[in-house]
């Protein structure tokens, strides 16, 4: 069983410790006294019985010499004076019982000691709460017999019982005195601890760090009190420093909060101005795009009519072609700007409808095949056989996506090949455009979808950098 001391106070632990030590010391002392007393009693018992046996042996010598059993018996009966003697047996030289005495009520078997008495030596031993002592009876330096005495240890047990009673009384009285002394002693020993505890409670309740603990001793408790006082002084200094820092922090936070509110107000005003300017820009671009597209479409129409006119002079057809291409390029820029304003204002819508997949892709392939032939490089395209016959979506926006990708490939390819692959996977179109142009640097890959982005290795700076930005937005919108 494990004794738990967590629930006891230090005062109780001190009392228990002292009482346990006292009890252990008393028990150990009495055990030692009992042990030494037992050995001393046995030695004295053996000496006393041996003296009585010597007297009986000398008194029985004549009876053994003359074989006078009645005289020997009378001599042995004198052992009655010792109440602890149980029996006395006199053996002759042949180890046979010659005479004996036994106390009334004592049953003995003298014959069973015959073999033991024939050893011819004086000895004694303790067995079954009795002392057995044998001595040799001699005459003219010759053994003529032996004497066996059995003595009870009852007197020792009676003395032991009295000592035990006395020990219990002394033990209880000593413990009581030790307890009373411990009560007075612990009050003196625990006084510095009580003072320290009182100071701690006062500091905890009132936050008063000016309290100091006085120690009137020069022991470990005094050292503890001194260290506690030092700690309190340091805490007080730290509290003052912390209080100053808190005041400074509060003032700084107040100033920063005021500055932040002012900055937020300025940012709010700046945002309102920026939003107003952005809205004005978007409205301007939207209106201007519509206003520019109308006359531009007229110019493109007239340029196309002049090219188809059979009587138009051949010398001017190249100039008309330049006008048409420049007009288409300008129209593309206007469309990009118009889409940008719709993206920024979140008004770009999709017009969904069903259209033919094959017809859509073939027209796109024919248009860019002719353009590649004019540019002097090869355009290849691969369409999967499992493409659906019809698609549901915004045909113009999808065409815009593919056109932007192919336009970029054509713009960066001077010679070689441009490849268009269209696959159908998981009910989605997968479009892959490859070219043999100059490529894109690694550090510019993450910025290719940013608006107005132009690459540093671009040898052809046509466009304003909105194609891929609009393409990504359209893909996400779909």
Residue 385 shares a structural domain with residue 330 = no
Residue 161 shares a structural domain with residue 306 = no
Boundary of a domain, candidates 328, 347, 366: 347
Which CATH number covers residue 123? 3.30.450.20
Task: Name the pairing type of β-strands 378-383 and 417-425.
Answer: parallel
Spatial neighbors of 336 by CB under 8 A, at least 6 apart, are 463, 464, 466, 467, 470
Phi, psi angles (nearest 5°) of residue 168: -60, -45
Which CATH number covers residue 232? 1.10.287.130
Q: Is residue 188 one of the residues assigned to a domain?
A: no
Q: Which domain holds residue 363?
A: 349-477
Q: How many residues does the chain have?
A: 478
Q: Look up residue 72 and give its two tokens.
A: 């020997």
Show contacts of 112-116: CB within 8 Å, 24+ apart: 113/89, 113/148, 116/148
What are 91's strand-pairing partners?
97, 146
Residue 318 shares a structural domain with residue 369 = no
Q: Is residue 202 one of the residues assigned to a domain?
A: no
Between CA 390 and CA 388 the distance in angstroms is 5
Q: Is residue 192 one of the residues assigned to a domain?
A: no
Residue 16 shares a structural domain with residue 52 = yes
Between CA 4 and CA 174 the distance in angstroms is 26
Residue 423 shares a structural domain with residue 441 = yes
Boundary of a domain, candidates 347, 362, 396: 347
How many domains does the chain fold into? Answer: 3
Integer CA distances (angstroms), 38 to 33, 169, 170, 432, 459, in order: 8, 20, 20, 112, 121
Residue 34 shares a structural domain with residue 134 = yes
Q: Is residue 191 one of the residues assigned to a domain?
A: no
Q: Look up residue 85 and give its two tokens.
A: 């003697």
Per-residue model confidence (pLDDT) at position 334 = 78
Residue 143 shares a structural domain with residue 76 = yes
What is the full per-residue pLDDT of the chain (478 aa) written as tens digits? Answer: 455 556 677 777 777 888 888 888 888 888 888 788 778 888 888 888 888 888 888 888 888 888 888 888 888 888 777 788 888 888 887 888 888 888 776 555 555 565 556 666 778 788 777 888 888 888 888 888 888 888 888 877 787 788 888 888 888 888 888 888 887 777 777 777 777 778 888 877 877 777 777 767 777 777 877 888 888 888 888 888 888 888 899 899 999 999 899 899 988 888 888 777 767 766 676 666 667 767 777 777 777 777 777 677 776 777 777 777 777 777 777 777 777 777 777 777 888 889 999 899 998 888 889 888 888 889 999 998 888 999 888 888 888 889 888 888 888 888 889 999 999 888 788 899 998 877 777 777 777 777 776 665 554 556 667 778 788 877 887 7
Residue 277 shares a structural domain with residue 298 = yes
Per-residue model confidence (pLDDT) at position 419 = 93
Which CATH number covers residue 366? 3.30.565.10
Residue 397 shares a structural domain with residue 342 = no
Integer CA distances (angstroms), 291 to 173, 288, 340, in order: 121, 5, 16
Per-residue model confidence (pLDDT) at position 1 = 45
Residue 214 shares a structural domain with residue 277 = yes
Per-residue model confidence (pLDDT) at position 346 = 75
Residue 252 shares a structural domain with residue 341 = yes
Q: Is residue 176 one of the residues assigned to a domain?
A: yes
Residue 372 shares a structural domain with residue 250 = no
Boundary of a domain, candidates 164, 182, 200: 182
Pick the closest to residue 343 from 194, 468, 175 (CA basis): 468
pTM: 0.41
Q: Is residue 196 one of the residues assigned to a domain?
A: no
Between CA 161 and CA 240 the distance in angstroms is 74
Q: Is residue 198 one of the residues assigned to a domain?
A: no
Q: Is residue 396 one of the residues assigned to a domain?
A: yes
């Amino acid at each position: 069983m494990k004794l738990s001391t967590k629930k006891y106070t230090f005062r109780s632990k001190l009392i228990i410790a002292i009482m346990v030590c006292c009890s252990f010391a008393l028990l150990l002392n009495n055990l030692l006294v009992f042990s030494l007393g037992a050995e001393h009693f046995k030695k004295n018992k053996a000496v006393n019985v041996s003296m009585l046996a010597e007297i009986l042996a000398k008194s029985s010598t004549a009876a053994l010499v003359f074989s006078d059993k009645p005289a020997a018996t009378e001599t042995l009966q004198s052992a009655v004076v010792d109440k602890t003697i149980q029996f006395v047996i006199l053996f002759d030289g042949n180890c046979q019982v010659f005479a004996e005495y036994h106390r009334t009520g004592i049953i003995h078997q003298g014959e069973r000691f015959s073999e033991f008495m024939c050893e011819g030596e004086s000895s004694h031993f303790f067995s079954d709460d009795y002392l057995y002592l044998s001595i040799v009876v001699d005459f003219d330096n010759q053994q003529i017999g032996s004497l066996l005495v059995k003595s009870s240890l009852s007197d020792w047990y009676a003395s032991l019982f009295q000592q035990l009673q006395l020990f219990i009384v002394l033990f209880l009285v000593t413990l009581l005195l030790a307890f009373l002394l411990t009560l007075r002693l612990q009050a003196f020993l625990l006084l510095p601890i009580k003072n320290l505890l009182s100071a701690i409670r006062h500091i905890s309740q009132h936050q008063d760090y000016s309290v100091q603990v006085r120690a009137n001793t020069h022991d470990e408790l005094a050292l503890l009190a001194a260290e506690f006082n030092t700690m309190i002084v340091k805490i007080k200094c730290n509290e003052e420093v912390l209080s100053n820092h808190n005041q400074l922090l509060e003032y700084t936070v107040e100033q920063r909060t005021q500055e932040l509110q002012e900055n937020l107000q300025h940012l709010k005003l700046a945002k309102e101005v920026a939003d107003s300017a952005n809205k004005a820009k978007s409205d301007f671009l939207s209106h201007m795009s519509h206003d520019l597209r109308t006359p531009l479409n007229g110019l493109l129409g007239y340029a196309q009519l002049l090219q188809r006119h059979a009587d138009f002079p051949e010398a001017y057809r190249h100039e008309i072609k330049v006008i048409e291409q420049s007009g288409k390029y300008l129209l593309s820029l206007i469309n990009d700007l118009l889409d940008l304003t719709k993206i920024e204002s979140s008004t770009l819508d999709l017009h969904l409808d069903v259209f033919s997949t094959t017809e859509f892709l073939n027209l796109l392939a024919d248009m860019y095949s002719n353009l590649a032939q004019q540019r002097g490089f090869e355009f290849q395209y691969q369409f999967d056989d499992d493409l659906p016959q019809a698609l549901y979506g915004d045909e113009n926006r999808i065409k815009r996506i593919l056109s932007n990708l192919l336009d970029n490939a054509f713009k960066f390819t001077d010679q070689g090949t441009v490849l268009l692959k269209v696959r159908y996977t998981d009910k989605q179109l997968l479009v892959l455009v490859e070219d043999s142009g100059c490529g894109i640097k690694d550090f510019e890959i993450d910025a290719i979808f940013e608006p107005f982005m132009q690459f540093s290795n671009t040898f052809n700076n046509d466009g304003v950098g909105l194609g891929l930005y609009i393409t990504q937005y359209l893909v996400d919108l779909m």
